Structure 1
């Protein structure tokens, strides 16, 4: 399924092509008539057809009988209709900006085809817009899918890569590179649509991480059963955060500052240990001595099995597939990234503007 913009652009292309083909057909018919019916040379026949279609007002290059003049009248009418149709379509294309849209569509298509290890945001409502802001702040590549023209135009104004289509369709997900993406975020207003997105994404790319939005507790459970790696309910999560802000305000201010990047001193990051490149796999935290080498604080380790080790001790060993969750300044986290080797990690956060 093509996006609405693509459909409009392709429609005007087809109409212009149809007009050109019709004009060429009229020229071909006129030339054949003057050649075989009036028994003129090919050169005279083509010339007569051209000056007739262009209505320049030249006279007949050879005398014509009543039948020939009737055909010439019909030829003029067919030519005027064909040329008028082409001019009308061309003018509409210029006024509506279809040519500029076509250029933009081709550019965005090339960008989408070049994306790899990117994120997909399904839905550009209030939730999707905030996610896009966070992704841009993190400097990660992402593409947006939305079927609403107004939302698409807003995304284009913000210079996001956006594709107007139905995110629940497999063909749409293929268009935005679902097979090359690392994560998909289903932030559509409908829980049913988010469920479809998760099911489609996991079918097309079983390795992709799927994050979904849920409005109800029942939808949350269904999305989890459908294969979503994380399900967020704005109402449940918002209620919990408001309660925590009321009960533990300083803790919430500290955590929010780190997660959202408003605290310009400290950041949190995660690192996936690759046994092929990381020299510390098999060593203990004490042997690796990462705190002394980088200054970053290791908060937790997530095992490949899903086990979470909070506050690891010096005796905690690193094993293949561990995800290290660390906190520190931007410089400390970059140093940690360097000593761990060329590993698979997210882009380090950059301080945001206030």
Structure 2
């Protein structure tokens, strides 16, 4: 989507081109209908008149036709001068290059599949984008402010200008092929509309939303959000935990942001078609012995969370294993649980 300046420039280019075409058609019609010349002679006379090449008239002109020709020359000079001025400005300001970039961006967007949509590139959205980039996650940013879109583009992110609460904008971001949408807009109402629109367009998509109040959290959950994060509530809890349990918080922060020891938390979904460990207990699968990664929790397909599972816990289709370990350990574990899929290897943050 072009910004207002480029939109105005495009409008002026179109108007100037149409103006020149109108002058050419008007001159041709005059010589054809009034002077009774052939259509080819009329078009040729108009062309040499507007181009001011200095050729002689096709046929002798009377006083009336000479006055018209003089007016045609003057009008042509004005229209052509304006058009040349607009095209020069468009070239110097990068209008045509901008069009090429937009077409290239659209080609990239059209090929998106299995990606994440980040709605809002404010303070929170920018941190989400950094995390997605660190994890090599394909994503696209959708923001209504041109300034934020330009900022995201300058940082190397794929970004579109548009209102995330509107269906047409979400469709521009390929919501139908996305796997997750993150509503990080500043307004709770906008996040609510975004979740509702996203779920309506793609019922299987995972929706994560930002909320400012506890009431907004409840409403977003009722609207279908799979997870709701309140920066104020979460921030308050983390501040209290940092004061009461500083060592634990240091460890947790290291996991979340990739600390010096490079310990990560990763989630693995057990697919019935690819996982060879279904029906086995944790001891029988030997995940800890083979990979070194620790299974810290199991979330069943019905939503039940088993924290600190024992060796006798049975692995079932649809389970999500929450595991902790180094990047290498998680890579090995991924190969065990999903041997035919491409692993998403955690990368250490800069």
- Whether TM exceeds 0.5 here: the answer is yes
Could you tell me which residue of structure 2 aligns to residue 180 of structure 1?
Answer: 177
Q: Which structure 2 residues correspond to residues 212-231 of structure 1 after superposition, within 5 A?
A: 212-231=209-228
CA contact (8 A) 2:299 2:306 kept: yes
Change (3 A) 1:255 1:349: same
CA contact (8 A) 1:272 1:324 kept: yes
**What per-residue deviation string (whole Å, max 9, x for no partner) do you get for residues 147-171 of structure 1?**
1121111111101111111111011
**What per-residue deviation string (whole Å, max 9, x for no partner) do you get for residues 237-277 of structure 1?**
11100111111111111111011112343211111001111
Could you tell me which residue of structure 1 aligns to residue 239 of structure 2?
Answer: 242
CA contact (8 A) 1:274 1:343 kept: no
Is 1:100 the counterpart of 2:93 in the alignment? no
Partner SS, residue 177 of structure 2: coil
CA contact (8 A) 2:331 2:343 kept: no
In the TM superposition, residue 285 of structure 1 has moved relative to its aligned partner by 0.9
Is 1:171 the counterpart of 2:168 in the alignment? yes
Q: Which runs of 5+ in 1 are unaligned?
A: none
TM-score of the two chains, using structure 2 as the length reference? 0.93
Partner SS, residue 215 of structure 1: coil
**What per-residue deviation string (whole Å, max 9, x for no partner) do you get for residues 1-21 of structure 1?**
xx453x665554454344333
In 2, Cα distance between the equivalents of 1:264 and 1:105? 42
Is 1:263 the counterpart of 2:296 in the alignment? no
In the TM superposition, residue 336 of structure 1 has moved relative to its aligned partner by 0.7
Could you tell me which residue of structure 2 aligns to residue 148 of structure 1?
Answer: 145
Q: Which structure 2 residues correspond to residues 284-323 of structure 1 after superposition, within 5 A?
A: 284-323=281-320
Matched positions, count: 350
**What per-residue deviation string (whole Å, max 9, x for no partner) do you get for residues 201-231 of structure 1?**
1111111111111111211111111111111
Aligned partner of 1:203 among 200, 205, 208? 200
Aligned partner of 2:191 among 190, 194, 201? 194
CA contact (8 A) 1:269 1:346 kept: no
The more displaced of 312-321 and 259-268 is: 259-268
Could you tell me which residue of structure 2 aligns to residue 327 of structure 1?
Answer: 324
Change (3 A) 1:287 1:260: same
Partner SS, residue 137 of structure 2: coil
In the TM superposition, residue 85 of structure 1 has moved relative to its aligned partner by 3.2
In the TM superposition, residue 39 of structure 1 has moved relative to its aligned partner by 4.3
In the TM superposition, residue 345 of structure 1 has moved relative to its aligned partner by 8.4
Change (3 A) 1:276 1:94: same
In 1, Cα distance between the equivalents of 2:82 and 2:197? 43
**What per-residue deviation string (whole Å, max 9, x for no partner) do you get for residues 273-312 of structure 1?**
0111111111111111111111111111111111111111
In the TM superposition, residue 180 of structure 1 has moved relative to its aligned partner by 0.8
In 1, Cα distance between the equivalents of 2:52 and 2:61? 17
CA contact (8 A) 2:142 2:159 kept: yes
In 2, Cα distance between the equivalents of 1:226 and 1:40? 72
The more displaced of 106-115 and 13-22 is: 13-22
In 2, Cα distance between the equivalents of 1:277 and 1:27? 69
The more displaced of 67-76 and 27-36 is: 27-36
Could you tell me which residue of structure 1 aligns to residue 87 of structure 2?
Answer: 90
Q: Which structure 2 residues correspond to residues 276-291 of structure 1 after superposition, within 5 A?
A: 276-291=273-288
Q: Which structure 2 residues correspond to residues 69-80 of structure 1 after superposition, within 5 A?
A: 69-80=66-77
Partner SS, residue 121 of structure 1: strand
Q: Which structure 2 residues correspond to residues 105-144 of structure 1 after superposition, within 5 A?
A: 105-144=102-141
In 1, Cα distance between the equivalents of 2:309 and 2:134? 30
In the TM superposition, residue 42 of structure 1 has moved relative to its aligned partner by 5.0
Partner SS, residue 175 of structure 2: coil
Partner SS, residue 179 of structure 1: helix
The more displaced of 185-194 and 9-18 is: 9-18
The more displaced of 259-268 and 164-173 is: 259-268
CA contact (8 A) 1:269 1:348 kept: no
Partner SS, residue 67 of structure 1: helix
In the TM superposition, residue 36 of structure 1 has moved relative to its aligned partner by 4.7
CA contact (8 A) 2:334 2:343 kept: no
Over aligned residues, Cα RMSD in angstroms? 2.1
In 2, Cα distance between the equivalents of 1:221 and 1:343? 39
